[in-house]
């Protein structure tokens, strides 16, 4: 087997072989103390012409992969799940080294999420892609609806959940019979290669999955060249709303559909009968997992005014009792207890400090944690007395500063929950599940969880957003698999058509 992730410099992947391009760029270690810098690896990166060559290869492989029986495709995905489970310790260590992902998050996305998505996609292929035969309409014809793959799908991956989101950028497209080109995150290319390594070692044929790395400064030009390629028929992008707009505009010029999974501002709506111990626990897990650098992370905690002080005390005590866990520390190994690391870069810390300072200047108070901002290293806090006039109410934080907002009526709570431009994920807490379910139906979001934090992600459920959180579904369940198919209708006329003169 070819070793992609152990090669130096890291290669792109073309026809299941290392593709060594003319140019490289450096990726720096993420597991060093602030102020230290060390190149982790050099990475081969594509020019526009080299990227076109990769797309040509994916296009050449499409017809054969489309014709591959579903059972054979399913066997490859199940084998990949097995291989991934065997490689978890190795891949966790490499992820922590290359990215700012905490050890716990790296293990979670590999051992729980990635393997589950592989197994779910494999299980669904036999039924979700079957043709539909319409009932007899009495017109002497038989009507069929087929779901067929697009062709080449471009998957563009982010850095913040670098393995599972790289996998999801291509997995569901491949399962549906498409071939895929993954443009890895410029900041976590080896994590993208882990996906290719696993799938190719599991038997994925040549050309079905190709990997392109891009120098950050060349990303706009190379990405536009790939989207413009006639063989690329769909784009799957996960990232910021700002870049999502650019991707959508570029694809629209070429009349190509796009899946956009963008930013979030997840509300946690606490009803007056909620279990506050459960809520406090889920605030910290859903708010501080991966240092809040997840688009579904808890942001705005909406609590009845008469329960606000009680919930604040519970959250503060839980943080204080588990201080080591809820302390951000950049250097981590597989034994580290810390749930948080540094943010993506110092600019992320400065942006978050701006949101924090604005909130404090308008009357917000720290109710849990001890605020500290040191470049990219930000210690987790929960703010109270936040209101809608503050930037932190409406802007995605993408960092460990949470907002607790009191409400006086359920109508007020729903207005707060729906009061931002984003609608990716949300959560509702209450012991009366029927009531909580009814409230969940009134929240404008692609997924709403009852008595579960908003980071909860099930591979059997379609994943995607409303409003400025995007459109389309990034895999998950029947709808997520069908997202990467296009519909073809066939009508077979069994009787005699009407004579021309009678039409």
Tokens of 124: 């669904």
Cross-strand partners of 237: 156, 260
Q: How far apart (Å, rounded) are the C-alpha atoms in residues 323 and 331?
A: 17
Q: What residues act catalytically?
A: 261
How does DSSP classify residue 237?
E
**Residue recorded with tokens 């998050």:** 105
Question: Whose CA is closest to 148, among 164, 160, 130, 169?
Answer: 130
Question: Whose CA is closest to 459, among 119, 110, 109?
Answer: 119
Q: Contact, 290 vs 457, CB < 8 A?
A: no
List phi, psi (to 5°) of 253: -60, -30
Residues 6+ apart with CB under 8 A from 305: 406, 407, 408
**Residue recorded with tokens 């077979």:** 492
Q: Contact, 405 vs 300, CB < 8 A?
A: yes
Q: How far apart (Å, rounded) are the C-alpha atoms in residues 496 and 278?
A: 67
Q: Contact, 263 vs 292, CB < 8 A?
A: no
Q: Give kind and range of the element (H or E) at residue 19.
A: strand 17-19
């Amino acid at each position: 087997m070819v070793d992609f992730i152990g090669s130096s410099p890291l290669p792109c992947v073309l026809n299941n072989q290392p593709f060594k391009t003319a140019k490289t760029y450096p990726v720096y270690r993420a597991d060093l103390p602030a102020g230290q810098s060390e190149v982790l690896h050099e990475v081969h990166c594509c020019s526009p012409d080299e990227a076109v060559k990769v797309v040509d290869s994916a296009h050449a492989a499409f017809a054969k992969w489309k014709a591959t029986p579903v059972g054979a495709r399913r066997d490859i995905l199940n084998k990949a799940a097995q291989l991934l489970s065997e490689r978890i310790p190795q891949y966790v260590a490499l992820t922590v080294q290359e990215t700012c992902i905490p050890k716990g998050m790296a293990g979670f996305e590999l051992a729980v999420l990635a393997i589950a998505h592989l197994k779910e996609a494999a299980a669904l292929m036999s039924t979700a892609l079957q043709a539909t035969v319409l009932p007899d309409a009495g017109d002497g014809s038989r009507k069929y609806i087929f779901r067929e793959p697009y062709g080449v799908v471009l998957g563009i991956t982010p850095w913040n959940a670098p393995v599972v989101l790289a996998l999801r950028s291509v997995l569901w497209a491949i399962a549906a019979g498409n071939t895929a080109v993954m443009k890895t995150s410029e900041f976590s290319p080896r994590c993208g290669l882990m996906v290719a390594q696993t799938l190719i070692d599991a038997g994925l044929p040549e050309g079905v999955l190709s990997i392109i790395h891009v120098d950050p400064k060349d990303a706009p030009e190379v990405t536009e060249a790939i989207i413009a390629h006639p063989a690329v028929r769909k784009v799957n992008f996960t990232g910021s709303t700002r870049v999502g707009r650019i991707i959508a505009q570029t694809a629209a010029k070429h009349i190509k559909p796009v899946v956009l999974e963008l930013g979030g501002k997840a509300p946690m709506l606490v009803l007056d009968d909620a279990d506050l111990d459960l809520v406090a626990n889920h605030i910290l897990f859903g708010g501080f997992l991966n240092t809040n650098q997840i688009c579904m992370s808890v942001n705005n905690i909406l609590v009845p005014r008469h329960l606000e002080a009680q919930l604040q005390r519970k959250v503060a005590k839980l943080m204080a009792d588990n201080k080591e866990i809820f302390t951000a520390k950049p250097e981590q190994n597989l034994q580290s207890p810390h749930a948080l690391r540094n943010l993506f870069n110092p600019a992320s810390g400065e942006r978050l400090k701006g949101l924090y300072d604005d909130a404090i200047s308008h009357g917000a108070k720290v109710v849990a944690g001890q605020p500290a901002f040191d470049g990219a290293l930000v210690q987790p806090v929960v703010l109270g007395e936040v209101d809608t006039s503050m930037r932190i109410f409406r802007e995605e934080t993408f960092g460990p500063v949470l907002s607790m907002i009191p409400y006086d009526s359920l109508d007020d709570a729903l207005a707060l929950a729906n009061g931002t431009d984003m609608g990716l994920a949300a959560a509702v807490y209450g012991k009366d599940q029927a009531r909580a379910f009814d409230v969940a139906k009134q929240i404008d979001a692609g997924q709403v969880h009852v008595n579960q934090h908003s980071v909860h992600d099930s591979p059997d459920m379609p994943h995607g957003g409303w409003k400025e959180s995007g459109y389309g579904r990034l895999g998950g369940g029947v709808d997520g698999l069908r997202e990467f198919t296009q519909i073809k209708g066939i009508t077979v006329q069994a009787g005699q058509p009407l004579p021309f003169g009678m039409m």
